[in-house]
Amino acid sequence: MKGQWGLILGLLAAIIIAIFAVINVDGVRVNYLFGTAEWPLILVILGSVLMGAVIAGALGTVRIYQLRSELKRLKSTNGLAENQKQDQSENDLNKAANSSSITKEVPSSVSSIEKTHKEN
């Protein structure tokens, strides 16, 4: 749906620019740094729109490249954090397993002490 709205707005903008350019077909003087020229206004308008689109596209491409490199950096940082978290949870599980085996041994030794105490 989002792509359809973009297409509709793009077509609408193209129609408005085309109508505006067709209405203004008079010749205009374009001053360059090194001279002047007489061009139809339609070419000046369409050239300006095209140049604006190229500049906007170039800036958008640069921004996309920046965001992709930042995303790649964040993914690698996140991967390192996930590995550290997994290592920490494994260490915690190992500590818990070791402490539970120690507590299991303590009651058996206590019961053997109780048996020897009862015998005396």
Residue 45 near residue 21, CB atoms below 8 Å: yes
φ and ψ of 28, to 5 deg: -130, 155
Per-residue confidence (pLDDT) for residue 114, from 0 to 100: 60
What mean pLDDT is predicted for residues 23-48?
A: 87
Listed in order, strand segments (DSSP E) in the chain are 27-31, 36-40
Q: Mean pLDDT of all residues in the chain? A: 80
> pLDDT tens digit string along 36-59?
999 988 888 888 889 999 999 999
Tokens of 84: 């550290």
Per-residue confidence (pLDDT) for residue 11, from 0 to 100: 92
What is the C-alpha to C-alpha distance for residues 89 and 94, in angstroms, rounded to an integer? 9
* Most confident option among 61-70, 72-81, 85-94, 101-110: 61-70
Terminal Cα distance for the chain, rounded: 88
- Expressed as residue numbers, the domain containing 75 is 2-119
What is the C-alpha to C-alpha distance for residues 39 and 34, in angstroms, rounded to an integer? 16
**Could you give the number of structural domains in the chain?**
1
Q: What global pTM score does this model have?
A: 0.51
> pLDDT tens digit string along 1-21?
677 888 899 899 889 878 887
Per-residue confidence (pLDDT) for residue 107, from 0 to 100: 55
